[in-house]
């Protein structure tokens, strides 16, 4: 089953399944790190998951992060020349994520294999979730007339170390920043 298929084996839309894959990736990291989370019943603020830390040593003892989850398996979503993953955001998502907010907001883009069959590798004793999620901070970016194409350096992998670092920065009220700036077209 390729990226062009609209519905999966179970009959549901692939776009919904991509959300599940992205959420599964984050859930696995949260489980590994023993982080609490919840999801809004209605995502009208471009937020899919709120992550809660506990007993952090910074001034904010229970820091939070709000994550907007996206998933792409489009061909060409990885620019191999620049080592970036490309995602198109709606104007609403872009504006919601770029405005200054009390709780830090993070765009998380999951890169899924083009074939849905390959999203999960099932082994005898384990399953493997393919591929990686990448994070990006839009806070402070300029206004836009329409949607925006975001290019995220592949160096901004979202793994458990990075997630915990982001929470530490939030705990110390350090504004989250990208490793490489100006990746907006």
Name the site residues for other proteins (rule: CB under 8 A): 45, 59-62, 66, 96, 99-103, 173
- Distance (Å, rounded) from C-alpha 121 to C-alpha 134? 20
Quote the least distance from Cβ 50 to other proteins, whole Å.
8
Indicate the residue among 54 and 121 with the shorter CB distance to other proteins: 54
Indicate the residue among 84 and 96 with the shorter CB distance to other proteins: 96
| Nearest alpha carbon to residue 151 among 115, 113, 178 | 178
Quote the least distance from Cβ 181 to other proteins, whole Å.
20
Quote the least distance from Cβ 101 to other proteins, whole Å.
5
3-class secondary structure for 14-65? HHHHHHHHHHHHHHHHHHHHCCEEECCCCCCCCCCEEEECCCCCCCCCCCEE
- Distance (Å, rounded) from C-alpha 74 to C-alpha 63? 34
Does a cis peptide bond (omega within 30 degrees of 0) precede residue 113?
Answer: no
Quote the least distance from Cβ 20 to other proteins, whole Å.
24
- Distance (Å, rounded) from C-alpha 60 to C-alpha 64? 9
Indicate the residue among 99 and 160 with the shorter CB distance to other proteins: 99
**Tokens describing residue 19:** 């959300």
Indicate the residue among 52 and 113 with the shorter CB distance to other proteins: 52
Quote the least distance from Cβ 62 to other proteins, whole Å.
7
How far out from the chain centre does Cα 2 lie? 22
Q: Write the CA distances from 126 to 18, 68, 121, integer angstroms.
A: 21, 28, 8
Indicate the residue among 103 and 179 with the shorter CB distance to other proteins: 103
């Amino acid at each position: 089953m390729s990226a062009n298929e609209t519905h999966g084996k179970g009959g549901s839309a692939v776009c919904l399944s991509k959300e599940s894959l992205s959420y599964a990736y984050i859930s696995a990291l949260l489980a590994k790190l023993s982080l609490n989370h919840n999801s809004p019943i209605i995502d009208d603020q471009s937020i899919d998951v709120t992550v809660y830390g506990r007993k952090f040593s910074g001034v904010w003892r229970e820091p939070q992060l709000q994550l907007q989850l996206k998933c792409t398996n489009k061909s060409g979503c990885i620019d191999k020349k620049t080592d970036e993953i490309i995602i198109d955001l709606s104007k609403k998502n872009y504006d919601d994520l770029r405005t200054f907010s009390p709780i830090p907001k993070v765009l998380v883009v999951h890169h899924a294999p083009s074939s849905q069959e390959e999203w999960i590798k099932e082994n005898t004793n384990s399953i493997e979730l393919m591929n990686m999620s990448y994070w990006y901070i839009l806070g402070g970016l300029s206004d836009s007339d329409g949607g925006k194409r975001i290019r995220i350096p592949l160096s901004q992998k979202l793994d458990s170390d990075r997630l915990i670092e982001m929470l530490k920065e939030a705990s110390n009220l350090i504004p989250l920043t990208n490793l490489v700036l100006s990746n907006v077209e």
